[in-house]
Amino acid sequence: MTQGTSTHGSDSTPVWHALPADETLERLGVAAGTGLSAADARARLAKYGPNRLPEEQQESAFIRFVKQFHNVLIYILLIAAVFTGLLGEWIDTGVILAVVLVNAVIGFIQEGKAEQALEEIRRMLSLEADVLRDGRRQRVDAETLVPGDIVLLEGGDRVPADLRVIKARDARVEEAALTGESAPVSKSAEPVADDALLGDRRSLLFSSTLVTAGQLRGVVVGTGQATEIGRIGEMVSRVEKLTTPLLRKMDTFGRVLSVAILGLGALLFLLGWLLRGFSLTEMFLVVVSFAVAAIPEGLPAILTITLALGVQRMGRRNAILRRLPAVETLGSVTTICSDKTGTLTRNELTAGRVLLHDGDLEVAGSGYGVDGSVHRAEAQNHAMGAGEVPSGDVSADVRELAVAAALCNDGDISIDEDGTARAQGDPLDAALVVLARKAGIDTDRLRDTHERIDDIPFESANRFMATLHRAPDGGRRTFVKGAPEVVLEMCPGVDVSAWRQRIDAAAAEGYRMLALAAGHGNERDTLVASDLAGNLELLGVVGLMDPPREEAVEAVAKCQSAGIRVVMITGDHALTARSIGDRLGIGDGSDAVTGREIEAADDEEVAAIIRAHDIVARASPEHKLRLVQALQSMGEVVAMTGDGVNDAPALKQADIGVAMGIKGTEAAKSAAEMVLADDNFASIEVAVEEGRTVYDNLKKTILFVLPTNGGEALMVMAAVAFAMPELPLTPVQILWVNMVTSVTLALALAFEPTEPNIMDRPPRSRDAPILSRYLLTRIGYVSVVVATACITLFLLELSAGAAPDRARTVAVNALVTAEAFYLFNCRFVWRSSMGLRSLRGNNAVLIAVGILVLLQLGFTYLPLLNTWFGTAPIGILDWLWCILLGMVVFSIVEIEKRFGRRRLRRAQRAAKARRPVRGATA
């Protein structure tokens, strides 16, 4: 005997959903009426283990904190600290180490527990369950359930293990968190096809799902890790978390930079020692100066602060980031794989269409809010004439249908303190209550005045529900709702063929159809199903749908205009998925691909399928995971959105997982990098925009910082190459420049606002370097210009008889002034910085320049700082030369940007043309 809910089945793992209930009981060695004996239960518990998921050993907080230092740029910072320590500059060493520590603390706090998905999934298992053992009903700890246990369930119970249904009465189960099915599904003991997809296995109950109505009896076929939710947990644990594009690029950048520093440092040492005749001690100090100059020690902290500011801005816009680098990943997303239920749609059934004898009506509004009205379809209004309104007869028909919807109903809606409407009971019943209220019915008063005498609850065998009411005049009314094909046959004089055509047309648009009928003259106080046929009058048919979010339609369009492909992956039916896709603008109108096709395909075929289709229906957790992996194999940067347990593996696999904060399960939130506080797909578009802004600001920061280090390094190298009598900059002066420009000028760029038309750009290539060759060229020539000018001023001062301290002070101020002017160039990577635009939009820039001026005045004129840094006061003419250098640098960069803008526009048009968004070539 084995346990499990195998998809395909094997000799060792039966396909339980395809076996008759009697054969299932026989294979499990249990009788439906008595259940297992206590002894048998103990033996099976020893064999299969407790009904819980295996726990993985978690890393300690100390280990997770230490891992924050595992970064090439952090290593470079530590090397810089060692160098400054060797120079005896302990204050600077302490500052650098403090930067490293703060960086680690920020990362540690932001990331929190990186792996909580499995723990949250474990918590979803029921605590207790009602079972039959030794012929008696008992309540036991759910962890003691074993294969073969007979479990008894009713409305409101959470399913404690995977069960094969052996008896069901009016049973419906909410499975949205596991299968993606938007509405509760009916369950029965009848077997289904062995290749039925997860959402179609009506004879199985899955652990952690919720019974919303009816009564069920089932036999346990899977516990613990052998349950469907256990398989998902195992998939989550096997998924290797991908690093973000930014971290990959910065890691590569750090490695290249470290190798370059070591190589050039060794070359410089040999040049000075062997060719220029410097002593070993002198060359050691020179190489230390070069290394300190070349290492951008403030860059990791600036990057972290820039990411943190982006996270704060996104948090204010309802997008909560669990990991700092994820904010940048959003900016490079090329494909968004979105779950349908609760993400693109409201996860609230809404009556949107009413079919009456004389035409169709539309119902305004969505969700459980009662704002809205019932009115003629627009096309029919045109046919009737612009000035015509529905007649009194139509209004009476609508009211009669609304009365039936409110009375043949076990649900209701409630209003929270914040005004949010929520379903009470079955979502379908709640949607009918909303329809009745939109039609002007006071449902509470109606139910008070129309006492329910008897009812026939919905059962999968009958496929209808009927209620008998005593009207205020003492008469009796019968109301029926159910599957149209069943109710139509109960209503004499109805043109069944014509109604079926209208119903099929509405169903093709994704509506779930429900017929309503009424009867008179029943004098008894009981309802008998056989008495209903032939005694009912058809009132109409209601089309219900889980509607798209209005704002999601606009958000999808914005993403597509930004070159981001939106793929809808859902567990719902293909017809419903395609209809919702059409309303959202996803897909090209072709049929949706199904999970069965994904399952039958190899990896190459899966890649071809997802390349050709934007809508995937009836998708299981494995399908979603394979689709994300296929997209990543094609070079896509993938964002996966979802809210259910079934989304967790794909959320973790994706470059960035996006979970819903309100309706999302804890398992989904823990597996994701980002959580939407408002469950609004439109917030994803906002997050992508913010991610692109953060990446822009990171690029601007690097573009600004590196010429400072490049100019300093070139000055040290030139001093050795040309055998200058003095170094233009001392190591401690280099540290000063790097520190003050980082905490003022570079930090100001983190506050840069979003550039216009940022969402009109195509997504960045996954393999594109953080700096293009054109920007590297800019860094190179700015470094050369600044270094050449500073060295020239230094040598002119020496030749004029100035002391080395004064000459170095001029060189330092020239370098800092050039950087201050260059900052305004960097505010816009390619746009012009000429005119007042460079002074507007970011007050932090002006504040940073003001603080820098004060710091440099202190550096130059305060005696204490003169002693610490080896500086001396300089004259007004020296300042004018520094300002002239800054103006020259600013002008050269602006001229280069002017020519670069033309080249950039051509490149962007070509990139966008190469990347269609939808359809077979997306």
Residue numbers annotated as active site: 339
Collapse the DSSP code of 616 into the 3-class scheme (helix H, G, I; strand E, B; otherwise coil) and give the result: strand
Q: What is the DSSP letter of 620?
A: -
Q: DSSP per residue over 39-51, as a string?
A: HHHHHHHHHH--S
Neighbours of 662 (CB within 10 A): 14
Reported as half-sphere exposure (CB side, CA atoms, 13 A), residue 905 has a value of 7
Q: Report in angstroms the alpha-carbon separations of 56 from 59, 123, 885.
A: 9, 14, 61
Across 663-702, b (16+ Cβ under 10 Å) vs e yields: bbbbbbbbbbbbbbeebbbbbbbbbbbbbbbbbbbbbbbb
As a whole number of angstroms, the distance between CA 161 and CA 218 comes to 10
For residue 893, the one-letter residue type is: V
Distance, C-alpha 741 to centroid of its chain: 36
As a whole number of angstroms, the distance between CA 740 and CA 853 comes to 10
Reading the block at residue 664, the tokens are 């999302």
3-state secondary structure 358-394: CEEEEECCCCCCCCCCEEECHHHHHHHCCCCCCCHHH
As a whole number of angstroms, the distance between CA 331 and CA 328 comes to 5
Q: Which residues contact 225 (CB under 8 A, 6 or more apart)?
A: 53, 54, 231, 233, 234
As a whole number of angstroms, the distance between CA 221 and CA 14 comes to 9
Beta-bridge mates of residue 478: 468, 519
Across 845-871, b (16+ Cβ under 10 Å) vs e yields: beebbeebeebbeebbeeeebbeebeb
Collapse the DSSP code of 710 into the 3-class scheme (helix H, G, I; strand E, B; otherwise coil) and give the result: helix
Reading the block at residue 667, the tokens are 């398992």
742: enclosing H helix or E strand: none
Torsion angle of alpha carbons 786, 787, 789, 791, nearest 10°? 160
Cβ atoms of 874 and 815 closer than 8 Å: no
Beta-bridge mates of residue 843: none
Considering only CA atoms, which of 485, 492, 493, 482 is closest in space to residue 455? 482
Is the Cα dihedral 252, 292, 713, 709 positive or negative? positive
Cβ atoms of 646 and 231 closer than 8 Å: no
Considering only CA atoms, which of 699, 887, 683, 678 is closest in space to residue 785? 887
Q: Which residue has the tokens 């948090």?
A: 315
As a whole number of angstroms, the distance between CA 13 and CA 6 comes to 6
Collapse the DSSP code of 110 into the 3-class scheme (helix H, G, I; strand E, B; otherwise coil) and give the result: helix
Considering only CA atoms, which of 26, 36, 24 is closest in space to residue 190? 24
Judged on CB neighbours under 10 Å (0-12, 13-18, 19+), 756 is: exposed
As a whole number of angstroms, the distance between CA 336 and CA 922 comes to 12
Provide the greatest CA pair distance for the chain.
Answer: 121
Q: DSSP per residue over 67-101, as a string?
A: GGG-SHHHHHHHHHHHHHHHTT-HHHHHHHHHHHH
